Every structure is written in C-alpha cells, then in structure tokens.
Amino acid sequence: MIFNQYYLDCLSHASYLIADETTGKAVVVDPQRDISEYLADAEEKGLTIELVLETHFHADFLSGHLELAQATGAAIGYSSVAETEFDIRPLADGERISLGEVELEIRHTPGHTPESMSVVIYEHADDEVPYGVLTGDTLFIGDVGRPDLLASVGFTRDELATKLYDSLHDKLLTLPDATQVFPAHGAGSACGKNLSTELTSTIGAQRQENYALLAPDRTTFIDLVTEGQPPAPGYFIHDATLNKMQRPLMDEATPPRPMTWDEVQAAMAAGALLVDGRDPVEFAHGHLKGAVNVGLEGRYAEFAGSVVPVDADIVLFVEPGAELEAKNRLGRIGFDRVLGYVDRPLEVLLAHQDQAQVASRLTPVDFEERRTDVDDLQLVDVRNPGEHALGSLPGSVSIPVGQLPNRLDELDPDRPTVVYCAGGYRSSVAASLLRANGFDDVSDIVGGYGAWTEVVQPA
C-alpha cells in the first residue's frame, strides 16, 4: 500500500492519497483545489487516480474534486445521501471499494454535516485490524467536528450533535484500538475548538484522551461540543454551497495580470477591494489608502475570506514574485475574482504618496500612555470569544475579526480606536479594515494581548 498525507498549514487541512502497489489504482481523499502535488506523486509512482472521495461538503475550503476529475477522468464519490449538481458515485454505508489487495470501507458518520462519512483503510481485505480510518471532520485528534455550522441548513445544532454522538460511538469507536486516525484538519481550524497539533493518533488513544469521547452520556456530550465554538469565518457558507455545485475550475499555473496605477484606481472606484499581502510591519510603514492588510505569512486565505465579501473583485498588492501564490491561496477558498496585481508596487507607493498612508502601531507602553491621555478611547478585542474570556484588556469590547465586517455599526468611527489580538496579525487585518471603512484614528497593539501581559502589570 502507498499512503500519503498532505498537510496545508495555512488552512490546517489534511488530504490523502491511497494506492495499491500491485494494481497502481489510487484514490485521493478530501483534496485541496490546486491539485498539482497529487498528480506529480501519482505520475512518479506510476499510479492511476481512479476515484476522488469527499468525506463531506467542506465549508472551510473549496475542494479539488472537479479539478481532479477533469485532469484524470476519476469518478467523484460522496455519501449516498449527498446531493450535487455534478455526477457522483453514491457510496452506501458499509460499501467496500477494492483497489487490489488494498480495500476501503465506507462508513456513514453524520453529525458535523448530514452527509459526512469516514473511510476505513485495510492494507489487505481480510485484515482483522484496519490500517487506519480517514475521519474527515467527524473525529479530530483531541476533538470532534462542530455540529453548528450553517452548512447544514435544515438541521438544528442539537439534531446534528445527536447524530454525531451516534456516529462516533456506533461507527468509529467500534474499530480496534490500534486503528490509526487520520482527520481532515489540525490545530487552527475553525471546524472544531480543541484540535491537536498532532496529525495522527489511534482509536485507542482518542478513546482515552479526547474530551468529547470521555463524556459519560449523550446529554453531556451535546453540551460539551456545542459550547464555546469559535465564530465561523464569513466565507464558510459560500464554500459549502460551491462544493455542491458545478463551478469553474482553478488554473493554478497562470499568474494574475499586472495592473497600472490608472487601472487600479478605476477598479477600486468600481468597488474592488485592495488586499495587501505584506507583513504587518511593512504595511504599517506605508500602504495605499483603502487597502486591507492580510499578510501572506499568516492564515491568508482564512482571514481574507473573513473580511472580504464573497462577491467582491480583488486587486492584489504583494511583494514582487508572490502574485501567483496570493491568487492561488485565495482560489483555495473559491475567491476567484482577482482582477490582477499592482505592478511595481513599491514604485507606485513612492510615485503616489498623496494616496499612501502609514499605520499607527502602539507598543504596550505606548498604548498605556495613550489610554491615559485619551478620554474617549474605543478599545476592540478582535480575538475569538474563548480567548477574550480567558483574559482581556480592561474596557475592551469583543468583536472577533471575522465578525467585524457585519458589526461595524457597533463602533463609532469618530472615536479614537485601538484594536488588539493575541500577537498582532489579526489586529492589523482589523485596523486596516476599519480605516478602509472611514475610521480615521485607528491603531493596533504590537505583540497584542500577549505582549501587553508581559510588559504592563495589570492594575
């Protein structure tokens, strides 16, 4: 058997290639949208990708099933309860898929979504202990899939939590303890609240260590998994819908086109959003007015999807050479409306200084001085509610960065405003978004709450 795990850090996303060496037949599970790595590995090993399996309709990324089907002729397999605009191979609960000596077993595991399924891997069809199980978003390392995402329209949170409990106990925990667990996400994903940084585990270890599986009864389980979930980024429902649809394919090889200053100005006047992918420090030193800072070095696609409307045209401002990366990372979440990028960006900044500005960033000591001097200061915590509950700056209001676009009316654009997060990445996103929406006096705290707790002694 050939078994490859692919992990995409910026989306905390795991996908898999499983193949039988004797037949060369291969299956890819939960692929990312840019598929070149799967194709390269299959070609190198002489494999034929015959099937693409999706454990569910993903909400946090746009999956590459259509791209792989087009490139390889592979069929697309979903749970038999899934409904799509494109042709699929519907897979029944308990159905077996033979690749040769290697065999896969489908187990329907609804709960995170109604159509969720898991894939049990047998290195040999008659093995008593499976090699592993691909659990999608049903079972994570240290957590389970959240049952409250809007992707599951028509089902209540508690209904799905009940299904999730049954799926875990009746379908996954019946597997032998030695069965390896391979989830679709790791730490950082908004599909759960307590995901481990580990990328594999075993059924036995999860039985003993996973807080949700240790719940003594169904009621306790439901309370545990529905409470304290992080806010879902705004693009989740968009991607969950797109993953069911026949949609345009991604072109991961062609970079976006360079745009002149006049073209950029015309695009922004027509409503396009300028997304500056530089580091927050570089952005603070100088950027074009109206730009929103989402740094490529962070969780770029996730936070761009949190603050950029799904129907917005996008102009990129990035370091030269990063244009294709920025376009493709947005494409991974289905944000394909990239008009182009600012050609010779630093020259543009120098040539049009009347359209450039710097961003105010305060050290914790600077912030304390400003708070003393300014009576009407507006302080915004853009971390998740769980982070805020564990400690926050006195007087701050909690508005997670992903909720900020829809909650701007809760803030006064005429008041001096300071935003902060845990370390300074999200606060730069939030502060730039506020400036782009008419907030004139906005600063963020360098190093965020972590730096403040180290430098300033709380009163």
Catalytic-residue membership of 10 = no
Which three-class secondary structure state does DSSP give residue 413?
coil
User: Rounded to the nearest 10 degrees, how much is the dihedral formed by the CA atoms of 343, 307, 12, 111?
Assistant: -150
- With tokens 């049952």, the residue in question is 147
Query: Residue 307, Cα to own-chain centre: how many angstroms?
Result: 13
Quick one: DSSP state of residue 381?
A: E
Give dist(CA 147, CA 229) in Å, integer: 10
Bridge partner residues of 272 (DSSP): none
Range list of β-strands (E), 352-456: 356-357, 360-362, 378-381, 397-398, 417-420, 442-445
Coil, helix or strand at residue 225: helix
Number of H helices, E strands in the chain: 15, 24
Residue by residue, what is the 3-state secondary structure of 127-195?
CCCCCEEEEECCECCCCECCCCCCCCCCCCHHHHHHHHHHHHHHHHCCCCCCCEEEECECCCCCCCCCC
Instruction: Give 128's contacts (C-beta < 8 A, 6+ positions apart).
Output: 176
Q: Which of 307, 421, 446, 451 is catalytic?
A: 421
Q: So which residues are the catalytic ones?
A: 421
